[in-house]
Amino acid sequence: MTQSERFLDVKDLKVDYMTLDGPFRAVKGVDLHINRGEVLGLAGESGCGKSTIAYALMRLHRPPAFIAGGDITVDGEDVLAFDEETLAQWRWSKVSLVFQSAMNALNPVLTIFEQFRDVYHRHTGKSTAEARARAVELMELVGIDPVRLDDYPHQLSGGMRQRVVLANALILEPQMIIMDEPTTALDVVVQREILQEIAGLQKKFGFSILFITHDLALMSQFADRIAIMLQGEIVEVNSAHEILHNPQHDYTKKLWDAMPSFEDAEGVA
Amino acid sequence: MTDQPYLEVKGVSKTYTLKTIFSGSKQVKALQDISFKLGRGEALALVGESGSGKSTCGRAIAGMFDIDAGDILVNGKSITSARNSKEKRENARKVQMVFQDPFASLNPTHTVRHHLARPLLLHKRVPDGKSLEQEVIRTLEDVELDPSVMLDKYPHELSGGQRQRINLARALAVGAELIIADEPTSMLDVSIRRSILNLMNRLKKDRGITFLYITHDLATAHYLTENTAVMFGGRIVEYGPSDAIVRDPQHPYSQLLLSSVPNAHTRINADFEHARDFSKFADKVRKETAESTAGLKEIAAGRYVRAA
């Protein structure tokens, strides 16, 4: 870490979902921070609230979900105080989001270029020609031949689609990217390619990353710090090294134990 | 391996013809000359990326479609020669599948009881209603679920792991001898993957169930199986003891696959150029593997590699 200044600061964040039985608290007073240029991993199993946090940071929740309390400060600004128009401009230019399923994140009836153009035009008001130039630049950046800009999402492989989504998240040079299971739906080799790509881009541009996954091994290869989440609460935060070599919380240990690794021979008859 | 393997796949090929509206038809060689043997109570992993043909191979063995060439023998008898519905049903009973998505493979409108009772009735495994209930309870106990809580639950009330146990129970209920498990753990949380693998391991050891385990995860393959076949482009590129393949993969594609498995102890190289180099290397290996026409060669006892 070159700077220790906090880019993202979350204090006592609470997110509720309204249910027939009253509010269900999915995120129970979470504190976390991400420094500039830092990669923070957020790990936990399905339903623990990790994606809910990602949505809350971007203020994407719609009823029945709502933020019940807490503070979110990004680059010194109070995100929860933004009005709709400020929020719309702020999203994507300051903080962007990469979802798990690249197919669902892309509009199937628009070409790759049209998806780039939409975001670019909405935020910068620049011409189609300028958007084209930026899109070509980004495609080259993520290693896809720019001729594919005129293809539709279904004409690309899963790995390429995830690269396109990544390129799209970079279009306005955000200072932080939230990645919600960006590699989970991919094959191991493609997963590795995408992870390398993300790591390379992060090093090149120095943005912060909130990296959400349930795969602790994958996360340890890449994150600076790791937060472990269980039932709406963060139970342990430490450097990736300490989480791997010196886990403190029982749940962290349990997560490690649950993963079969090559060292396990007990299962082989 | 016993003298007569439980499952023998001999030179199986399958080609799909894709007909699109706008362009002409295209041939996809989903399986090309696949051969392997699997002994009773043993497990074989079919490992490869999406589109490698591993699931097609599993479905062919389950008799879900007709193969173009070759033969599949279960317990010494060809499944392709089953003439009447009785023989076909008998094959279907012995060879059961467990699918990847535990949410999609159970009917949301029916209880656990229904899911287990129905195959028992279809395959006429029980003489009367009383023994049906007992059989359902026994099957649930086999997969380590508590019948008193589980019987009347609907799929949406169960966790992913519990649903996958129900899927295994459903296969066991009719007396499956070979279970084809197609990525049974890949949609489950990491924290419960191992428990499902352990259950499969116990079924294999204690009940002598034979497993064909289809996965892209070499680490779990190594955990469950004696042998592994690495597939790419509809062909087996490497076959051998799982242990040996994990320790010392020979084919460039197996090596690529293995080196891509997340390992917590190695930080990835975050250099921007390195990312591009890795992708180029991966593409080169895929291309060369796809284009190679070389046959499998035995390099050590029980180890076969396709020359690169």
Residues A5 and A67 in one domain: yes
Residue A160 lies in a domain: yes
| DSSP code at position A101 | -
Residue B98 zone, left/alpha/beta (φ > 0; ψ -120 to 50; rest): beta
Distance from CA of B96 to the nearest CA of A (A): 22
Residue A200 lies in a domain: no
Residues of A in contact with B231 (CB under 8 A): none
Fold of B7-236: Rossmann fold (3.40.50)
CATH number, domain containing residue A60? 3.40.50.300
Q: Tell whether the model's pLDDT for residue A1 goes beyond 50.
A: no
Residues A69 and A106 in one domain: no
pLDDT band (50, 70, 90) for residue B220: confident
Mean pLDDT of chain B: 89
- Number of domains comprising chain A: 2
Residue A194 lies in a domain: no
Alpha helices in chain A (DSSP H): 50-57, 84-93, 102-105, 112-124, 128-141, 158-170, 188-205, 216-220, 240-245, 250-257
Residues of B in contact with A255 (CB under 8 A): 190-191
Residue A81 lies in a domain: yes
Residue A251 lies in a domain: yes
A202 interfaces chain B, CB cutoff of 8 Å: yes
User: Would the CB atoms of A267 and B201 count as touching at under 8 Å?
Assistant: yes
pLDDT band (50, 70, 90) for residue A102: low
Provide the domain limits for residue A129.
95-173
Residues A25 and A111 in one domain: no
Task: Tell me the pTM.
Answer: 0.85
Residues A86 and A108 in one domain: no
Residue A267 lies in a domain: no
pLDDT of the residue at A5? 84
Q: Select the residue of B216, B246, B267 nearest A188 (Cβ to Cβ).
A: B216
In this predicted complex, what is the ipTM?
0.81
Burial of B293: CB neighbours in 10 Å, binned 0-12, 13-18, 19+: exposed
pLDDT band (50, 70, 90) for residue A267: very low
Query: Where a domain ends, among A120, A148, A173?
Result: A173
Residue A195 lies in a domain: no
pLDDT of the residue at B25? 79
Residue A116 lies in a domain: yes
Residues A239 and A251 in one domain: yes
Distance from CA of A216 to the nearest CA of B (A): 7
Residues A113 and A89 in one domain: no
pLDDT of the residue at A264? 53
End-to-end C-alpha distance for chain B, whole angstroms: 29
The residues with which A211 forms a beta bridge, in sequence order, are A41, A179
Q: What is the tens place of the pLDDT at every residue in B55-95?
A: 999 999 998 888 999 999 999 889 888 778 888 888 888 99
**Tokens 């493979």 correspond to what residue?**
B105
